[in-house]
């Protein structure tokens, strides 16, 4: 068996030892030195070049190096009929929830305002709500959204979630569909986006959505840069419709030099680090899917290409 490893952001040094230790019979070939393309059975990828997967004539399974698969599905030459599996790693879920809790707390406890006061040498106590008085809305009712909601709820926040389809989880308030989105937004003081990026969710963080939030609401986007209409965010901040934003993902990555987000006083920028893939915990999950495929068993987290996740 041979596996192609191709990542635009990760390294062979972090992955090859983990994969070969756990599955010695697997040949791990690092792009571009892959040998005969016809010998590749599996592809473990992040943002592969368009056409790369189509160049592997005997490819059996495509494995994403992350929870999202939009970086694979955007390939116009994506080979049809080859199953795709996304990565769902409890470590990554925990890491995402850590990030969301951190950023919600920063916004809730007015960290940007206190940082500005520190720079201006101002000693002033700001009025502070209790967590139970702060409403948080999460776009995304999957594993990531549910875990973050449970952890925020444990801190006392009033949390609700929204998804495209109806879903009921004990202890969590949920909204769904086009009718449920305005209701979720209307009650949300801190909006968190954890949606998969699909044709239906692209640009969902736009002027219309911001207009449905309470005045002075804040945003955390840790999903994909394609969810956000950047110009609409800048306008909403300029008009005071939104008070702040925390952004971990961007339309263009790395965020270009000179981009207005870099030095905006009401925007916190982090470099797509909310839930980085961790090879020691992710490699066993990836290899389990290869074993399942070889044994003819159901895959873990197989992607529905029509739905986009």
Residues classed as catalytic:
224, 272
Q: How far is CA 256 from the centre of its chain?
A: 20
Which tokens go with 141?
Answer: 């009712």
Map residue 280 onto helix, strand or coil. Answer: helix
The closest of 158, 147, 161, 154 to 100, measured between CA atoms, is 147
Calculate the CA dihedral of residues 192, 237, 210, 199 and round it to 10 degrees.
Answer: -70
Give 219: exposed, middle or buried? Use CB within 10 Å, 0-12, 13-18, 19+: buried
Which tokens go with 28?
Answer: 């791990």
Q: Where are the alpha helices (DSSP H) in 44-197?
A: 70-73, 90-108, 111-119, 143-154, 177-186
Which tokens go with 164?
Answer: 């495209």
Calculate the CA dihedral of residues 16, 17, 22, 23 and round it to 10 degrees.
Answer: 50
Q: Report the distance separating Cα 197 and Cα 192, nearest Å.
A: 14
């Amino acid at each position: 068996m041979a596996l192609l490893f191709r990542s635009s952001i990760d390294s062979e040094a972090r992955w090859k030892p983990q994969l070969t230790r756990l599955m010695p019979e697997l040949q791990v070939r690092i792009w571009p030195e892959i040998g005969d393309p016809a010998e590749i059975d599996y592809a473990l990828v992040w943002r592969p070049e368009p056409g790369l997967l189509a160049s592997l004539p005997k490819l059996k399974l495509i494995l994403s190096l992350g929870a999202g698969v939009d970086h694979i599905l955007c390939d116009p030459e994506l080979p049809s009929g080859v199953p795709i599996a996304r990565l769902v790693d409890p470590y990554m879920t925990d890491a995402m929830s850590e990030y969301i809790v951190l950023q919600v707390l920063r916004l809730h406890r007015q960290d940007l305002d206190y940082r500005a006061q520190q720079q201006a040498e101002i000693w002033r106590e700001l009025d502070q709500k209790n967590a139970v008085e702060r409403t948080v809305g999460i776009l995304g009712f999957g594993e990531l959204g549910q875990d973050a909601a449970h952890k925020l709820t444990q801190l006392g926040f009033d949390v609700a979630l929204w998804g495209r389809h109806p879903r009921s989880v004990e202890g969590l308030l949920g909204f769904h569909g086009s009718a449920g989105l305005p209701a979720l937004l209307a009650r949300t003081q801190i909006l968190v986006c954890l949606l998969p990026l699909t044709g239906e969710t692209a640009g969902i963080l736009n002027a219309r959505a911001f207009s449905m939030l309470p005045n002075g609401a804040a945003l955390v986007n840790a999903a994909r840069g394609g969810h956000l209409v950047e110009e609409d965010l800048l306008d909403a901040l300029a008009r005071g419709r939104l008070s702040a934003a925390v952004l971990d993902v961007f339309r263009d990555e790395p965020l270009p030099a000179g981009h207005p987000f870099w030095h905006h006083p009401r925007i916190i920028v982090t470099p797509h680090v909310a839930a980085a893939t961790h090879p020691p915990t992710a490699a066993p999950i990836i290899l389990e899917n290869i074993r399942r495929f070889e044994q003819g068993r159901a895959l873990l987290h197989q992607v529905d290409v029509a739905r986009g996740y």
